[in-house]
């Protein structure tokens, strides 16, 4: 369904196209048209106009929008190049520097990303998004002390940033501060009750600490919100098999492979449950299914084949 604003945008694009048809050298109109195309998610069309504009005048702003177009088209190398050129032409183009930092994160160039976000913060000390991105870079580098400082600063500036609370929780968990980590995940749930990963992380902490009932409760909520959460199924199945609840484990495992049909680990777990139940035919079928998906197996397929051969020869 088109909204009123979308209709206006399309009318505006048609008007700008008409102007350009009459005067292709109208650079101001072409730039406006390119930006409007970007804003309405037509990056390929926008790219053609921006490439034309770059040949006419290679300024910081045009390279910035060119970076956005390439980023939307998932060409991160060209997006990076464009943002770098934009920032090199104008050190005051903070938006280009910020976007460059995000591309560096996507390309796992975390040290370079840190430099970008520090430049943005130097220009605007209250930019919570840059503090968060800075924290994320440090988190990926496993510098958890620095990550914590920046996530806390993000929350100080914007207490409703669910991702800052979530990553602060993960940081605290990495530092074995589970009590404080759980408070952050609980805050995420308060802000966003459908955020399944927050429930999963609480369940993981509870499982590690032996709070099984609470872990199960949060695992069930995780799966309810995200039926494809493989790790949630794994924890739930560990709990059920350890407690000898094989029938229930079988039911959960069957649901798991139905929702995640290409997860070798889940078929392998289901096979082991079948083995414990002495359901031999199902054991063999699910071992074979597990072997079909080596990329999602934590155990080398050769070991599964050997185990299956030994079972069949027993």
Each of the 314 residues of the chain gets a pLDDT tens digit; together they read 444 354 457 788 888 888 888 998 889 998 998 999 999 999 999 999 999 999 998 999 999 999 999 999 999 999 999 999 999 999 999 999 999 999 999 999 999 999 999 999 999 999 999 999 999 999 999 999 999 999 999 999 999 999 999 999 999 999 999 999 999 999 999 999 999 999 999 999 999 999 999 999 999 999 999 999 999 999 999 999 999 999 999 999 999 999 999 999 999 999 999 999 999 999 999 999 999 999 999 999 999 999 999 988 87
| Cα(184)–Cα(99) distance, integer angstroms | 28
DSSP string, 79-116: HHHHHHHHHHH-TT-HHHHHHHHHHHHHTT-HHHHHHH
Contacts of 7 (CB under 8 A, 6+ apart): none
Predicted pLDDT at 8: 58
- 260 vs 276: CA distance, rounded Å: 22
Angle at Cα 277 formed by Cα 276 and Cα 282, nearest 5°?
100
CB 135 within 8 A of CB 116: no
**Residue pointed to by tokens 């993000």:** 154
Q: CA 136, CA 306: separation in Å to the nearest integer? A: 42
Closest CA to 269 of 313, 228, 235: 235
Give the pLDDT confidence score for residue 5 in this predicted structure.
53
Q: What are phi and psi of 243, to 5 degrees?
A: -90, 5
Contact 277, 258 (CB under 8 A): no
CB atoms under 10 Å from CB of 89, counted, come to 17
Q: Are the C-beta atoms of residues 38 and 19 closer than 8 Å to each other?
A: no
Enter the tokens of residue 96: 């280009």
Run of H or E including 115: helix 110-123
Cα dist. 82→1, 54, 79, 148, 218 in Å?
Answer: 34, 11, 5, 31, 45
164: Cβ contacts below 8 Å, ≥ 6 apart: 128, 132, 135, 151, 154, 155, 158
- Rounded distance, CA 172 to CA 169, Å? 5
- If you ran DSSP here, which 8-state letter would residue 143 be given? -
In sequence order, which residues have a C-beta less than 8 Å from that of residue 280 and are 6 or more positions away?
274, 311
C-alpha 207/C-alpha 213 separation (Å) is 9
Where do we find the tokens 């399309």? 10
Task: List the structure tokens of 302.
Answer: 């050769």
- Tokens 């299956």: give the residue: 308
Cβ–Cβ under 8 Å, residues 63 and 85:
yes
Q: Which two tokens stand for residue 161?
A: 């940033």
Tokens of 294: 């080596």
**What was the pLDDT predicted at 26?**
87
């Amino acid at each position: 369904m088109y909204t009123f604003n979308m209709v206006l945008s399309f009318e505006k694009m048609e008007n700008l196209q008409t102007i350009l048809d009459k005067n292709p050298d109208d650079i101001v109109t072409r730039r406006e048209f390119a930006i409007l195309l970007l804003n309405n998610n037509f990056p390929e069309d926008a790219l053609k106009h921006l490439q034309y504009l770059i040949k006419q005048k290679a300024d910081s702003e045009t390279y910035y929008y060119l970076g956005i177009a390439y980023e939307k088209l998932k060409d991160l190398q060209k997006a990076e190049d464009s943002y770098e050129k934009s920032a090199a032409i104008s050190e005051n183009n903070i938006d280009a520097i910020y976007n460059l930092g995000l591309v560096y994160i996507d390309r796992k160039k975390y040290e370079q990303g840190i430099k970008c976000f520090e430049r943005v913060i130097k220009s605007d000390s209250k930019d919570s998004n840059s503090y968060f991105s800075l924290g994320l870079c440090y988190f990926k580098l496993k510098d958890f002390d620095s990550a914590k400082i920046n996530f806390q600063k993000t929350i100080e500036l914007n207490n409703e940033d669910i991702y800052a609370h979530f990553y602060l929780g993960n940081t605290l968990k990495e530092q074995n501060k589970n009590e404080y980590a759980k408070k952050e995940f609980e805050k995420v749930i308060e802000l966003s009750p459908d955020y399944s990963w927050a429930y999963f992380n609480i369940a993981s902490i509870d499982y590690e600490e032996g709070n099984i009932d609470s872990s199960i409760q949060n695992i069930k909520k995780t799966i309810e919100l995200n039926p494809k959460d493989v790790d949630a199924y794994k924890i739930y199945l560990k709990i059920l098999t350890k407690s000898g609840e094989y029938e229930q484990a079988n039911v959960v495992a069957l649901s798991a492979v139905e929702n995640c049909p290409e997860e070798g680990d889940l078929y392998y777990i289901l096979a082991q449950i079948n083995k414990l139940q002495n359901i031999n035919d199902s054991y063999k079928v699910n071992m074979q299914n597990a072997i079909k998906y080596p990329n999602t197996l934590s155990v080398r397929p050769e070991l599964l084949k050997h185990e299956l051969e030994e079972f069949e020869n027993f």
